[in-house]
Homo-oligomer: A and B are copies of this chain.
């Protein structure tokens, strides 16, 4: 939600200047490469990154009959990133977008590759925040390259399916691989929704049971609002982006894959619907909370008023007969004390009747 604070450092630089603006500035870059077709599957953990990028990469990505997937974790090594760009002949602006991790989700179609950038969300249970990580994809005819800000992603299932030849991932092209990765990211949005659903429901229950003391309700509502805004900013532009991907005419997306992208699009719309609902529910909670506070105040004030209203006249009466006038007839009466009690009981009963009528008791 907040523009990254380092984005200020970028102001005034050359367009196409490579500055990584993310938070994890000293994450070492880690590259893995997979290559597969129906028959074969190889997986490599690249150690000599520099050598790989400059000498092997182009050959690796254009092996005939095989699909290659290169995954890059950690974007802070600018020199490495630049040689990536050179090797793949990327537009300088694309490379800048990969590093400038505050991009809106978008698709850009080039003659022989497609650039896709979107946001991977994960919920941090402890901080009760949503972690946002920018993921960029470059889809070529026979390869996908993915760039992530840090280790840890939601693609493990795709790797397993490739290794174990589950599903038809091994039988399809690079576009289907891209789809599978997108699908994973969008599916994970639902996990955020679940957490949110849980939090909103819990908060609602607590407010409605008027059990308000131990929790800072406005803070939690505001926190939910932030999460909702984060998801919205990730999902809303994604719709257009996937649309553009489906309609592109580069020939990089197979007819059959378009159908699967529609499925992802449907999920995106579903997330949108749900997030709108949560937004409404969360705003509703605010209203309910304020009503509850007002209601509590009313209760408190009624109790204060009842007690004050009953005792104030009594205190007056006892004060009355505490006066020291020499000539006060009641003082000398034999049943004066009883009389004063009688007076007080009468007042109390009268007030009780009054409050009963007002339905305060």
Contacts and interface: CB of A to CB of B under 8 A. Distances in A.
Interface string A41-72: 00000000000000000000000000000000
Contacts of A336: 325-327
A353 interface: no
A10 B337 contact: no
A294 B290 contact: yes
Contacts of A102: 270
Contacts of A11: 154, 184, 187-188, 190-191
A328 interface: yes
Interface stretch (A24-32, A80-88, A133-141, A273-281): A273-281
A171 interface: no
A127 to B, nearest CB: 15
Interface in A261-300: 263, 266, 269-270, 273-274, 277, 280-281, 284-298, 300
Contact of A180 (B15, B104, B226): B15
Contact of A218 (B288, B325, B333): B288
A293 B296 contact: no
Contact of A340 (B213, B297, B304, B325): B325
Contacts of A194: 3, 5, 7-8
20 contacts: A2-B201, A3-B197, A11-B187, A12-B184, A15-B179, A93-B260, A204-B222, A222-B288, A233-B273, A237-B273, A286-B287, A307-B309, A308-B312, A312-B312, A315-B316, A318-B320, A323-B340, A325-B333, A327-B337, A328-B337
Interface of A: 1-3, 5, 7-8, 10-16, 91, 93, 97, 102-104, 106, 154, 156-157, 161, 166-167, 179-180, 183-184, 187-188, 190-191, 193-194, 197, 201, 204, 207-208, 213, 216-219, 221-222, 225-226, 229, 233, 237, 259-260, 263, 266, 269-270, 273-274, 277, 280-281, 284-298, 300-305, 307-309, 311-316, 318-337, 340, 359
